[in-house]
Amino acid sequence: MHTIDDTHKHTQMYLPIPLLLLLLCPGGTPFRICTFHLQRFAGPKAAKPPIMATLVKIISRCDIAVLQEDAKGQAVPALLHALNGTVSPESYSALSSPPLDIGRYREHYVFVYQSSRTQVLDAYMYPDESPARPDTFSRDPFLARFSLPSKALPALVLVPLHMVPTKAELVVDTLYDVFLELQAQWGAQDVMFLGDFNADCGYVAKKGWGQIRLRGARAPAPAPVTPFSPRIVVHGERLLGLVVPGSAQPFDFPTALGLTEAEALEVSDHYPVE
């Protein structure tokens, strides 16, 4: 197992949640995968052209964008319309998870992808039914297998996550069971877990990392730097061989796109990292 993480903080905006990796494919064209915490993305946000224009500029940098906090599952068609109207017709498609409910709070995981570069091969919700640890995941993992334009790695499994801090240690450990499930169902070896693990700032005690099965034996426990814990956890020799070292870097979209801090916070309180 190998963990890639970036943890930085800028005023009220948190850099790490959106992460982007480059996979080298034939012809030297990088394949980009990112994850972006959209901060309660719903109709009111989608109805604001400046916000949608910014989202289009950010998401169109990626071949697959894994989105969190799609609040009601109703704003994604508007996002696709904006992407396809700006980039090219029918260039982007989307796959949404079933609703993920925590009491009155609801969200969906959404994969937005360039259909000319990748396709969904299979997807399902992880059955969180262990009698030993019932209801481990407040938001069950949504497992999706995508094709890749690479002979070295023709398919990849992506597992988005948005963890509840109070369950962080248990959930991070249980991700190993999710990995075993993927091996049993799809024979998957090349897997990427990505999202907000909420595993810093005491949510996972330093001594607890030694008991977490997902963590590689040589990986140090992460320093408690910020209250948010974005992670990309990668498994698979082929996948690791294609990841560009150091490719997860902060994308300061307010500066790059000429936004004020207030305008950027209208979009999200998290920055992309590329």
As annotated, the active-site residues are 107, 162
User: Are 118 and 147 in contact, with CB atoms under 8 Å apart?
Assistant: yes
User: Are 37 and 68 in contact, with CB atoms under 8 Å apart?
Assistant: yes
- What's the angle, vertex CA 132, arms to CA 127 and CA 138, rounded to 5? 50
Tokens for 129, please give them. 């039914």
CA 189 to chain centre: 18
Cα-Cα-Cα-Cα torsion 66, 95, 144, 58, nearest 10 degrees, comes to: -20
Distance in angstroms (rounded) separating the CA atoms of residues 111 and 116: 15
Q: What are phi and psi of 196, to 5 degrees?
A: -90, 100
Residue 250's alpha-carbon distances to 66, 69, 76, 110, 247, in angstroms, are: 17, 20, 25, 22, 10
Residue 191's alpha-carbon distances to 32, 153, 160, 262, in angstroms, are: 15, 11, 11, 36
Strand, coil or helix: what is 21?
A: strand
Which residues share a beta bridge with 92? 114
